[in-house]
Chain A
Amino acid sequence: MNTIGHSAPEEVMAFLDGELVVAEARLVAAHLEHCAECAALADQFRSTSQMLSRWDVESVPLRLSDAVGSLATSNASDHKSTERKRSFLWRGRSLVMAGGGLAVVALLVSVSFLPVRRRAVSYTFQEPKLVSENNSLAPLLLEDKKKEYQAPALADKAKAKQFDRLDQFARMHEFMGASSHASASAAILSESKNGVLDSARFSVPAPMIARAVSLTLRVKDVSAARSPLDSILARHRGYSAQLNVSAPENGSRSFIASLRIPSTELSAAVGEIKALGRVENESQSGEEVSQQHADLVARLKTARETEERFQAILLQRTGRLSDVLEVEQNIARVRGEIEAMETEQEALEHRVDFASVEVQLTEDYKAQIGLPPDSVSTRMHNAFVTGYHNAAESVVGLVLFIEEFGPPLVLWLVILGLPMVVGWRRYKRARATL
């Protein structure tokens, strides 16, 4: 406030409203006593307030008191009942939590007992295994048979089922052309039926498994690791089916090889390959093709027998020319099938005899000082050309966008825009009048 001149009008108003601090209020009060102009301004404020104070409103209807009174009373009773509900809910929640805990414990107990029961069941009805690591089923079968005969409680039905399985097993291996296998299986069958077993008298063929290994190694120098890899291949009588060497300009070199190694040498060869560097990833898989091979052999045998029968017909029988031609056609067809099956059999056996090993050698990346960069003028020129292309592309893109989406946008703008403008005007008008 200017203590010599007039008070600011807003300060006079604040003084009348009691909004000034004591010191300022005293100054304004003193000023108003001496300044007629500011006193007149104060009078105007007072008169405006007095005029407004004539704006009375009617008294509150009585029904409002009743309505709000009942509201407050019900709220008070709700307050007490809420407390009761809370304690009830707390108790209920505790019970539910305790019940839930008990259920979880019961579930855990039942789960921990379940595998024991399952093991007991599988032990009672254990069947002879057809596959073993050491290429012989004798010990496993012997053990199973001993268990069977030591367990008097074993049902006759289950025993008969086992005999059927053994019978099937023997028949299957008979097709594989190994008479020793067939006789061994027959021996198992007969001796099992007689209740006498001699483990030294039989052996079964190893399962036919096509093995595949994948190795990812990180080495210091790919070139240096190449020759040891070749030595490993030569030592284990393997060969490489495919080789890929990649040497990007700004990246680490890598060497990818697809190797074939005799299955018998696989473990030793893989161990030596892994010693070439740090193993980052290793995976091994085996696909059993015994059934597939057996089927193939059986079909091949049948096809050969068919061919022999056709040959016999051709030699021994005489007839019309058309019949002779038909027999020859059939012989040619069967011959083709036999050759395809023989090729397939060879491939399958090759897959079993030679395991597939995928090796990826990756070198640690060492940044090298490359070629000197392009000159500044060349780079500026290139940047300008790229910028020009980008600008042209953006303009074309914008034009295409307008051509493609412009008409529907305009259409929807017309359809939706008008109601929106009208609505907005109405909303503004309504807000202004409230």
Chain B
Amino acid sequence: MLGTLDSDGSGTTITDEQLMAAFSRGSTDAFGGLFSRYKQPLFGFFRRRVVDAALAEELTQETFLAVVRGAANYEPSATFRTYLYAIAFRILRAHRRKSAFRAMFWSQETESREAAVRSTIDTEIWLRDAVNKLDRVDRETLLLREFEQLSYAEIAELMKLPLNTVRSRLFRARGALRELLSAPAGKGVVKDFAAYEERV
């Protein structure tokens, strides 16, 4: 089991960057501190995007594995949070690319249906369905802002977009989501899901 290192002897909280630097020098406790801080946000990052919990867990583990492997070459040029989400975003994109490629040849269904079957919370399905109807870039921008709490600049860096584009896309995504959530069709999604669950 991992030990955790959250504060120094005087009670001052150690920053993520300091923990990562300590880990790159071989401190396991420092990694424990980072893991305890980011395991839930990172799992949520994947869970809201791939819906299959096991897959989200696997991708989370893969991200931490990448952090561990890259620890020796870590240079604190940006915040650790941006660094971590950049890795997570890259792993997510690789997973999507592979899934799309597999779907092209094997006619595989994407995991959204499977996830909908496993999910048991109506609200979550309703929100997920609404978010999924957004444009892909708008959706990512919105999720990164609302759940990962990244700043506009961090989102711009992560998605390789200009800062103003991030702002306008975020505004558009929020407006579209508000309309989708306020529409009566939102309830219809739950009905559709219930019918699908019965059929399966």
Contact = CB atoms under 8 A, between A and B. Distances in A.
B32 A57 contact: no
A290 B86 CA distance: 85
Interface string A28-66: 000000000000000011011101111111111101111
B41 to A, nearest CB: 10
A60 B60 contact: yes
Contact of B146 (A49, A64, A66): A49
B171 interface: yes
A44 B71 CA distance: 43
Given A51-B181, A75-B68, A79-B26, A58 B171 contact: no
Interface stretch (A6-14, A177-185, A216-224, A256-264): A6-14
A206 interface: no
A80 interface: yes
B15 interface: no
A423 B104 contact: yes
Nearest to A74: B68
B57 interface: yes
Interface stretch (B6-14, B43-51, B74-82, B190-198): B43-51
Interface string A323-336: 00000000000000
B2 A51 contact: no
Contacts of A45: 174
A17 B96 contact: no
A72 B112 contact: no
A60 B39 contact: yes
User: Dominant SS at the B interface?
Assistant: helix
Interface residues of A, number: 46
Nearest to B39: A60
Interface string B162-200: 000001101100100110010000000000000000000
A13 B65 CA distance: 36
A427 B108 CA distance: 11
Contacts of B147: 52, 55
Contacts of B69: 75
A51 B146 CA distance: 11
Contacts of B167: 10, 13-14, 19
Contact of A72 (B32, B72, B99, B146): B32
Interface of B: 1-2, 23, 26-28, 31-32, 35, 39-40, 43-44, 47-48, 53, 57, 60-61, 64-65, 68-69, 71-72, 96, 99-101, 103-105, 107, 110, 112, 121, 123-124, 127-128, 136, 145-147, 151-152, 167-168, 170-171, 174, 177-178, 181
